[in-house]
Amino acid sequence: MSAFEFRTVPHIVFGEGTSRQLAEKAAPVLKSARRLFVVTDKGVRGAGLIDAPLAALEAAGFTLETYDDVVADPPEAMVLEASERAKVFGAEAVLGFGGGSPMDTAKIVALLAAGDQPLSEMYGVDKVRVTGLPLILVPTTAGTGSEVTSVAVITTGETSKRGIASGALYGQMALLDPELTRGLPKHATAATGIDAMVHAIEAYTNKRSKNPVSDALALTAMKLLQGAIERACANGNDMAARGDMLLGAMLAGQAFSNSPVGGVHAMAYPLGGIFHVPHGLSNSVVLPPVLRFNAPAAESQYSEIAGHIGLKPSSAALIDEMERIAEAVGIERRLSQLGISHNDVPRMAEDVAANDRLLPNNPREMGYDDIVAMYEEIL
* CATH code at position 176: 3.40.50.1970
pLDDT in tens, 1-27: 789 999 999 999 999 999 999 999 999
End position of a domain, from candidates 157, 180, 203: 180
How far apart are alpha carbons 265 and 119 in whole angstroms?
22
CATH number (domain holding residue 307): 1.20.1090.10
Tell me which of 45-54, 105-114, 243-252 is least confident.
Answer: 45-54
- pLDDT tens per residue, range 100-148: 999 999 999 999 999 899 999 999 989 999 999 999 999 999 999 999 9
Tell me the HSE value of 173 on the side-chain side, using a 13 A CA sphere: 23
Domain ends where: 139, 155, 180? 180
Q: Are residues 174 and 190 both part of a single domain?
A: no
Q: Which of 180, 197, 230 is the last residue of a domain?
A: 180
Based on the fold, state whether residues 202 and 83 are members of the same structural domain: no
User: Has residue 5 been placed in a domain?
Assistant: no
> How far is residue 56's CA from residue 249's CA, in Å, rounded to a whole number?
27
Domain count, the chain: 2
Ranges of H-type helices in the chain: 22-30, 42-46, 51-59, 76-89, 100-112, 186-204, 212-234, 239-258, 263-275, 279-308, 315-328, 345-353, 368-377
Tell me the pLDDT tens digit for each residue of 297-307: 999 999 999 99
Average pLDDT across the chain, whole number = 95
CA distance 327 to 334: 12
Backbone angles phi, psi at 218, to 5 degrees: -65, -45
CA–CA gap between residue 70 and residue 141 (Å, rounded): 15
Answer yes or no: is pLDDT of 160 > 80: no
* 219 and 359 belong to one structural domain: yes
Q: Please state the separation of Cα 295 from the chain's center in Å.
A: 24
The residue among 273, 278, 304, 17 whose CA lies nearest residue 159 is 273
Please give the residue that has the higher pLDDT: either 312 or 276: 312
Domain of 271? 186-377
What is the reported pLDDT for 6? 96
Alpha-carbon distance of 8 to 5, in angstroms, equals 10
